């Protein structure tokens, strides 16, 4: 199973959901919203299609109402999607009961993703796929920010956190980093408010051009 280089910065979002047709649009929007927070909206259309296929396969082949989890993980130039459920039945186009529509779904998964597969776990299985992301300017800025924030986490003993706990630790590290930069600015004889205003102007200009 393909893996990431541990030296690369990583962002991870965990989205539990219930396998049901009505949940799919909500899950798709939640995934798109998370990509927007990360600044990787260029992959939104492919992500929404793949989330739809992965989530739909759960209620079709595991059962409606089954508990499942979507994991989005962005590292470097690759976005990884994983859907975990509690069944060890591996979906293939030759699976009994897998009709023409199921085969089309797997074909779409293979066509849109750079790579995909299924992994059996102690609790069931994970179906995963990876999407390449063009390294735009906003992406590079976010990657640099994650690298800096992870170094702050290491100082505060936040290594190894996942999901919401990791996101909260990164937010706290961001506050500490900004505070340190303001102290450095004031120590150098500059006005902290001026630095913040200039940073805000840079951000708004780039966000408006995206």
**Residue-wise pLDDT tens digits, 174-185:** 888 888 888 988
In a domain, 1, yes or no: no
Share of residues in the chain with pLDDT > 90 (%): 25
Rounded Cα gap, residues 39 and 119, in angstroms: 29
Residues 145 and 204 in one domain: yes
In a domain, 113, yes or no: yes
> Best-predicted range by mean pLDDT among 11-15, 153-157, 192-196, 202-206?
11-15
Mean pLDDT of the chain: 79
> Can you say whether the dihedral through the CA atoms of 13, 17, 21, 26 is positive or negative?
negative
pLDDT in tens, 121-142: 888 999 999 988 865 555 566 7
Residues 16 and 108 in one domain: yes
| Predicted pLDDT of residue 85 | 94
Last residue of a domain, one of 83, 107, 132: 132
In a domain, 5, yes or no: no
Global pTM?
Answer: 0.62
Residues 45 and 95 in one domain: yes
The pLDDT of residue 194 is above 80: yes
Last residue of a domain, one of 100, 132, 164: 132
Q: What range does the domain containing 186 cover? A: 137-209
Instruction: Identify the bridge partners of residue 115 per DSSP, sorted by sequence position.
Output: 130
Residues 142 and 121 in one domain: no
Last residue of a domain, one of 132, 162, 185: 132
Residues 96 and 182 in one domain: no
Domain count of the chain? 2
> What number of CA atoms fall less than 13 Å from residue 123's CA on the CB side?
8
List, in order, residues 6 or more apart from 118 with CB less than 8 Å away: 90, 91, 125, 126, 127, 128
Are the C-beta atoms of residues 84 and 58 closer than 8 Å to each other? no
In a domain, 3, yes or no: no
pLDDT in tens, 25-78: 999 999 999 988 887 877 888 899 899 989 988 988 888 889 999 999 988 788
Residues 97 and 185 in one domain: no
Out of 58-62, 77-81, 92-96, 192-196, which region has the weakest mean confidence (pLDDT)? 92-96
């Amino acid at each position: 199973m393909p893996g990431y280089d541990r030296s690369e910065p990583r962002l991870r979002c965990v989205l539990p959901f219930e396998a049901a047709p009505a949940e799919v649009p909500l899950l798709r929007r939640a995934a798109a919203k998370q990509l927007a927070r990360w600044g990787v909206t260029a992959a939104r259309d492919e992500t929404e299609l793949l989330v739809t296929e992965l989530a739909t396969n759960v209620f079709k082949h595991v059962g409606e109402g089954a508990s499942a989890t979507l994991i989005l993980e962005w590292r470097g130039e690759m976005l990884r999607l994983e859907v975990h459920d509690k069944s060890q039945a591996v979906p293939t186009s030759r699976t009994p009961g897998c009709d023409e529509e199921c085969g089309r779904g797997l074909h779409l998964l293979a066509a849109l993703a750079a790579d995909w597969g299924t992994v059996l776990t102690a609790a069931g299985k994970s179906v995963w796929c990876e999407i390449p992301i063009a390294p735009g300017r906003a992406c590079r800025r976010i990657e640099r920010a994650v690298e800096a924030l992870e170094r702050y986490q290491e100082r505060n003993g936040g290594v190894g956190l996942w999901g919401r706990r990791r996101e909260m630790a990164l937010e706290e590290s961001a506050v500490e980093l900004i505070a340190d930069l303001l102290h450095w600015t004031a120590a150098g004889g500059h006005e902290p408010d001026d630095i913040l205003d200039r940073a805000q102007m840079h951000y708004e200009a780039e966000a408006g051009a995206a």
